Amino acid sequence: MRVVLLGPPGAGKGTQAARLAEALRVVHLSSGDILRAERAARTRLGQEAQRYMDSGALVPDEVVLEMMAGRMQSSDAEAGFVLDGFPRTIPQAEGLDRRLEAAHRPIDRVVNIEVSDEVVTPRLTGRWSCPKDGRVYHEQYSPPKSAGTCDICGTALVRRRDDEPSVVRQRLATYHAETKPLIDYYRRRGVLASVNGDGEIDVVFESIRAACRGSG
């Protein structure tokens, strides 16, 4: 089965994609993880992407598409996959569909995790992590025992730049302008299902599983 998860930053796509891939016995393909791996391995695509990032520019759709398409052609993705963080734009979605349909392996289901800006903003801005061991805390949901320090090693916690309030506002603005239009794109193709992402992780996961069972 081939699934795409959509949703705003902070909707929990990474967590849910990993769980869904395990349940479906397919591979979880995170665009962020794949990009980092390509850069670390200094592949042609990784170096090309790095040049754009070093200049402060967005990595072009065609570069991202080629990178993801290559990963989807790997042997471990033959049984299917769950895409997380890709596609992000209409051109990426169109390019993905062309490649998959040419291989007679179209997307089976797109699940949109619906969460309002008012809910995801505190989810993101409340996150803090330990720079030493990588442990992640949240001011509201999983605070450290001692404010501002890691429970395990006592290191001072830091907030990722992506979770700074001003950056979160920009990330959400980019989502609404570039990624949210994918909802209508996939609805017109007859593969979209939407679930409420405001609930507990397990409840949202069961909604996503039910949406996938209803595909086709």
Catalytic residues: 13, 88, 127, 160, 171
CB 182 within 8 A of CB 87: yes
Through-space distance between the first and last CA atoms of the chain, rounded to whole angstroms: 11
Strands (E), the chain: 2-6, 27-30, 81-84, 109-114, 127-129, 136-138, 192-196
Q: Between 31-40 and 44-54, two packed helices, what is the crossing angle to 10 degrees?
A: 100
Q: Pick the closest to residue 190 from 107, 67, 99 (CA basis).
A: 107
Tell me, letter by letter, the H, E, C secondary structure of 17-72: HHHHHHHHCCEEEEHHHHHHHHHHCCCHHHHHHHHHHHCCCCCCHHHHHHHHHHHH
Q: From CA 206, how far away is CA 20, in angstroms rounded?
A: 9
Q: Pick the closest to residue 34 from 46, 44, 23, 26 (CA basis).
A: 46
Three-class SS of residue 92? Answer: helix
Three-class SS of residue 113? Answer: strand
